[in-house]
Chain A
Amino acid sequence: MKTEDVIQFSIRATLGYPTRTLLMILAMSIGVASVILLTALGEGARRYVTREFSSLGTNLLIVLPGRSETTGGHPPLVGGTPRDLTLEDALSLTRSSAIRRVAPITVGSAPVSWKYRDREVTILGSTSELFEIRDLSMAQGRFIPSGDPTRGAAVCVMGYRLKKELFGNQSPLGEWTRIGDRRFRVVGVLAKKGQSLGLDMGDVVVAPVASAQALFNTSTLFRILVQANSRDAIPKAKKAILGIIRERHEGEDDITVVTQDAMLSIFDRIFTALTLSVAGIAGISLAVAGILIMNVMLIAVSQRTTEIGLLKAIGAPGRQILRLFLAESAILSLIGAAFGLILAFFGTWALARAFPSFPITVPVWALGAAVGVSLLTGLVFGVLPARRAAKLDPAQALSRR
C-alpha cells in the first residue's frame, strides 16, 4: 500500500466520524496551545528580567550596605545594617585600577514644584558618572556636572515624563524648581529609556549627591554603583571593593557586592526553570489529550470491527491495519497541533496587545517540542488501539452484520 494512500485512507476515516474527530482535535489543540502559551509567558518573564538588569549598564557591580547572610552573590534578604556606606567610602573606591567609574546613590522622595504645579517625586542623588554607568542619554540639555562630589551644586536633571507634567511643551532649561525646601536649576531632561529595576527613570529627579544628602539631611548612601574596567576585571574589582571597605570599616566585612552577571545568571536560571515547569504542567493537558485519543480510537476499533475484518479478507496483513490506525491517530494529533499553533498565535497576539511592554515571545524550541510531543502522544496512545485492530480475528468480525 502506498504511503499517500495510507494518508488518504486515514483522512477519509477521520472525516467519516466528524464528532469524535472534532473532539480529539479540540483536546489536542488545547494541549498544544497551552504548552506554547505558558512557555511564551515564562520566556517573556525571563526576557523581561534580563532586559531590566541589562539596562542597568555594563560591567556593573552594586555595593549594598549590610552583610549578606547567604554566601554567593545574592542581595541581602535578611541582614543588619551595621555600618552605613558614606560618600567617602564611595570615593575611596576609585583607588583600584580595576574600577573605571563609581556612582554613589542616595534615594529619597520629595515634592517637586514649578510655578503652581507640584508632584511628589523620587530624588536620586548621584554624580556625573551615573550617566555613563547607567548608560543614560539626554533629551535636552546636559547631565549634572562633574566636579567635587562633596560639594553639591543646586542643579538637577529630570525624567522626560516629569518634565512634561511640570513644564508641558515649554523648555525647562535654566528654570528654577523647588525641591523640598531648596531651589534647583534644571540643566537637562533625560531621554525616554523605560524602567530599570522597578525605578521609572521618566519620573525621577537626579541631583548631585551632596545636595540630595543635604536635602534629606543624611550622610549615608543607599548603594554604590561601580563600573569595572572590563568584563574580566569584575572579580578583581569585587575583591578591591571588599578590601577597601574592610580597611575603612575597621576590618569588618559589612557590605554586600552584587555583580550584574551573577544576578543575571541567577534570574536566568530561575526563569528557565520556571518556563520548563509551566511547560511541563501544560504538558499534562497533552497527556490528557493522549488518553482521550486512546479511548476514542479504542471505540473506533470496536465500531469498525467489520471494516477491519473486511480489510483483512481483501488482503491487508495485520501489519497494514496497524499502520492505518497509527496513521489515523498521528493525523488527528497533527491536525490538533496545527489548530493549537493557530490558537497559540492568537493567544500571544492578544497578550502582546494587552501588555505591550511585556516581551512575550514564543521560543522556537517550544513550537517544535509542542508539535513533536503531540505527534508522539498520538502515536504512543494510538499503539494500543491499533494493535487491538491488527490482532482482530477476521472470521469472527465478519460473522457479525
Chain B
Amino acid sequence: MIHLVGIKRVFQVGDEAVHALSNVNMTVDAGEYIAIMGPSGSGKSTLLNIIGLLDRPDKGVYRLEDMDTTDLTDDQQASVRRHKIGFVFQFFHLVPRLTAAENVELPLILAGVEPAERRSRVQAALSALGLSGRAKHRPDQLSGGQRQRVAIARATIMQPRVILADEPTGNLDRTSGKNVVQSLEDLNRKGMTLILVTHDPDLGSRASRKVVMMDGRISEDTGAS
C-alpha cells in the first residue's frame, strides 16, 4: 500500500545541509500496525510528513496505493490527504475557538458534505470515542486525553486508509496515554493502517512491527521483507 524507495529529504539551515532522511526504503501493507521509534531528531516526523503528503522528498519515489505521488498538484495532494490519510499530533492541534463537535466536523466541511449527514457522522464518531457528553465543549474545557480523542475522531471521520500518529501520547499522562493508544488500536483492528511514532518502549512493543530510526536512516525493521 505504501512504497518508499530511496527517499531523501535535506533541509538547508543556513549554510548547513541537514539530512533529515537519507535513502529510506519501506513498504507498508494495508492494515498493518507499525511503531516508529528512535532518538529525537532522527527523522521520524519528517518520514511521517512525507507519507502524509505534507512534505515532499527531495529524492526517491513514494507510491501510495499504486499511485505515484511525485507529480501530484497541490489540489490533488490535498484531496489525497482529505480522503486517505488521518493525522494525529502530539499537540492535538484543535482549533481553540471551535467546539469538540465542530473540530471533528471540519474535514467533512472541507469535503463539502451536506450538513445533515455531517451532524450524524460527527455524533457517531464522538460516541465511538466515548465523547458524546463533550460535544459542545471547547478544547480548553477538555482534559488532554479527551482532546487527543477529539483529534482522533477528527482524523478518522473521513474513514481514511492510514492513520499517522506523531507521538500522540507525548503530552499525556500514562493512563490517558494508554486510553488514546487503545482507541487507535481499535481503529487498526477495524482495518485502518496505523503508523505510530513513539518514544515509549512499552507502547512500541505493542505494535506488530517495529521500525527504529537513526540519523535519517532505518536502522532496524522487524517487518522488513
Q: Out of B45, B75, B95, B110, name the residue touching A1 (CB < 8 Å).
A: B110
Nearest chain A CB to B23 CB, angstrom units: 20
CB interface residues, B 37-62, toward A, < 8 Å: 45-46, 49, 52, 54-55
Q: How far is the CA of A23 from the CA of B52 in the complex (A)?
A: 39
B75 touches A311 (CB 8 A): no
A313 touches B75 (CB 8 A): no
Chain B residues within 8 Å of A57, by CB: none
Given A317-B78, A401-B91, A311:B54 Cβ within 8 A = no
Q: How far is the CA of A15 from the CA of B77 in the complex (A)?
A: 31
A315 touches B49 (CB 8 A): no
Say yes or no: is B74 at the interface (Cβ < 8 Å to chain A): yes
Nearest chain B CB to A58 CB, angstrom units: 65
Say yes or no: is B14 at the interface (Cβ < 8 Å to chain A): no
A13 touches B97 (CB 8 A): yes
B81 touches A314 (CB 8 A): yes
Number of contact residues on B: which range applies?
Answer: 20 to 34
Count of A residues near B, CB < 8 Å? 29
Say yes or no: is A372 at the interface (Cβ < 8 Å to chain B): no
B110 touches A316 (CB 8 A): yes
Nearest chain A CB to B30 CB, angstrom units: 20
Instruction: Name which of A145-153, A191-199, A214-222, A302-310 contacts chain B.
Output: A302-310
Which of A2, A306, A312, A313 has the largest count of B CB atoms less than 10 A from its CB? A313
Instruction: Name which of B82-90, B129-137, B176-184, B213-221 contacts chain A.
Output: B82-90
A1 touches B109 (CB 8 A): yes
Say yes or no: is A394 at the interface (Cβ < 8 Å to chain B): yes
The chain B residue sitting closest to A16, CB to CB, is B97
Q: How far is the CA of A400 from the CA of B95 in the complex (A)?
A: 14
Given A1-B110, A2-B112, A315:B82 Cβ within 8 A = yes
Say yes or no: is A338 at the interface (Cβ < 8 Å to chain B): no
Chain A residues within 8 Å of B49, by CB: 395
The chain A residue sitting closest to B91, CB to CB, is A401
User: B interface vs A, CB < 8 Å?
Assistant: 45-46, 49, 52, 54-55, 74-75, 77-79, 81-83, 87, 89-91, 93, 95-98, 106-107, 109-112, 154-155, 158
What are 24 pairs between A and B in contact, CB < 8 Å? A16-B96, A306-B93, A309-B93, A310-B93, A310-B95, A311-B110, A312-B54, A312-B78, A312-B81, A314-B82, A314-B87, A314-B155, A315-B83, A315-B158, A316-B78, A316-B82, A316-B110, A317-B79, A318-B78, A320-B78, A393-B55, A395-B46, A398-B89, A399-B45
The 4 A-B pairs with the shortest beta carbon distances in the complex, nearest first, are: A315-B82, A16-B97, A317-B78, A401-B91
User: A interface vs B, CB < 8 Å?
Assistant: 1-2, 5, 9, 12-13, 15-16, 306-307, 309-320, 393-395, 398-401
